[in-house]
């Protein structure tokens, strides 16, 4: 999958950071769509046009597992990259268990972003092949 | 899930290996143990394993190196890592290596059992249960 054929959706409630990332990905040659929150994201997911989701952890509203479960229920093949201003163990583990393919603390370099997207493309290919390989199983396990 | 899942536990601490061996054997599971990453790879090449549970911090080949080697040879193998020294960096590295879970020590062994059973069941649902060699 080359960059021109790869659609990335960015979801970040911070308008400036969203615009900066959109401009960067555009320069890299990706097809980019943006959403300012969950509603916009889910509308895009229904159309099924994107293969990678880059989402700010703030969008998850302290419930990363539930958010990722909802996303993967709609699109099990979607590669999810979590961006975080405040990386924490709890956040990373919830992201891992939720089936995301990467976690990128802010601020990040261009090289780190490119590496991350390369991994996301690979993960999408694997998920597409198995359709559901990265489905979260947290719902099956009561961790309380 | 197969009646008797076959798991591989990798930890350089004898106490942990013994604890997990006794517990999972008591559940009727088939359990192999290795005290190093290299020995784990030898076991993986000699018998069918449904899931690997590996410590992160080990001499020579650590749990992350083992996971990356496993990904090359057995890309779909469920791998869970456990560590007594959790950090954001190792958790991110584990996520990128597509581990199934990141467990911090000390852990609740009954919760670990449920998590491992769920991982094995999910893997078998997606990839089918193949007959053992």
**Distance in Å, alpha carbon of A29 to nearest chain B alpha carbon:** 24
Q: Which domain, by its residues, includes B84? A: 6-126
What percent of chain A has pLDDT above 70? Answer: 88
User: Into how many domains does chain A fold?
Assistant: 1
Determine, yes or no, domain membership for B71: yes
Chain B CA closest to residue A104: B92
The CATH code of the domain that includes A134 is: 3.40.50.2300
Q: Which residues have a Cβ under 8 Å from the Cβ of B57 and sit 6 or more positions away?
A: B63, B83, B84, B85
Q: What band does A12 get if pLDDT is binned at 50, 70 and 90?
A: very high
Domain, as residue range, for A85:
3-140
Report d(CA B19, CA A117) in Å as an integer.
Answer: 41
In a domain, B132, yes or no: no
Residues 15-34 of chain B with CB under 8 A from chain A are none
Strands A79-84 and A7-11: unpaired
Q: Which helix (H) or strand (E) holds A114?
A: helix A110-130
Q: Which helix (H) or strand (E) holds A53?
A: strand A52-56
- Closest C-alpha to A135, from B116, B5, B119: B119
Lowest-confidence region among A57-61, A103-107, B37-41: A57-61
Those of residues 61-80 in B touching chain A at CB distance below 8 A are: 75-76
Q: In 3D, which of A101, A102, A106, A99 has the Cα closest to residue A137?
A: A99
Domain count of the fold of chain B: 1
Residue B45 lies in a domain: yes
Q: Write down the pLDDT at residue B2.
A: 58
| CATH label of the domain that carries residue B26 | 3.40.50.2300
Chain A residues whose beta carbon lies within 8 Å of the beta carbon of residue B111: 141, 143
**Given a cut of 90, is residue A78 above it in pLDDT?**
yes
Q: What is the pTM of this model?
A: 0.87
Q: Can you tell me the mean pLDDT for B97-126?
A: 94
pLDDT of residue A67: 96
Q: What is the ipTM of this complex?
A: 0.87
Q: What is the pLDDT of residues B16-25, one digit of tens each?
A: 999 999 999 9
């Amino acid at each position: 999958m080359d960059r021109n054929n790869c659609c990335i959706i960015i979801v970040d409630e911070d308008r400036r950071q969203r615009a900066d990332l959109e401009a960067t990905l555009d320069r890299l040659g990706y097809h980019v769509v943006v959403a300012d929150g969950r509603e916009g994201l889910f509308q895009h997911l229904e159309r099924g046009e994107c293969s990678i989701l880059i989402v700010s952890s703030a969008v998850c509203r302290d419930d990363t597992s539930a958010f990722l479960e909802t996303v993967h229920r709609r699109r099990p093949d979607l590669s999810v990259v979590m961006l975080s201003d405040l990386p924490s163990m709890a956040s990373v583990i919830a992201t891992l268990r939720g089936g995301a393919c990467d976690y990128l603390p802010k601020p990040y370099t261009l090289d780190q972003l490119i590496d991350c997207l390369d991994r996301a493309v690979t993960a999408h290919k694997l998920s597409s092949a198995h359709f559901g390989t990265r489905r979260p199983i947290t719902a099956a396990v009561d961790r309380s | 899930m197969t009646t008797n899942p076959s798991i591989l536990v990798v930890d350089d601490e004898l106490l942990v290996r013994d604890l997990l061996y006794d517990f999972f054997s008591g559940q009727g599971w088939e359990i192999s143990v290795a005290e190093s990453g290299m020995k784990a790879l030898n076991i993986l090449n000699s018998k069918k394993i449904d899931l690997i549970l590996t410590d992160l911090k080990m001499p020579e080949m650590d749990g992350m190196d083992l996971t990356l080697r496993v990904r090359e040879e057995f890309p779909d193998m469920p791998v869970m890592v456990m560590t007594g020294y959790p950090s954001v960096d190792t958790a991110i590295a584990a996520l990128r290596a597509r581990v199934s879970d990141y467990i911090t020590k000390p852990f609740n062994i009954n919760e670990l059992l449920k998590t491992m059973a769920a991982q094995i069941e999910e893997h078998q649902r997606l990839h089918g249960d193949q007959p053992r060699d």
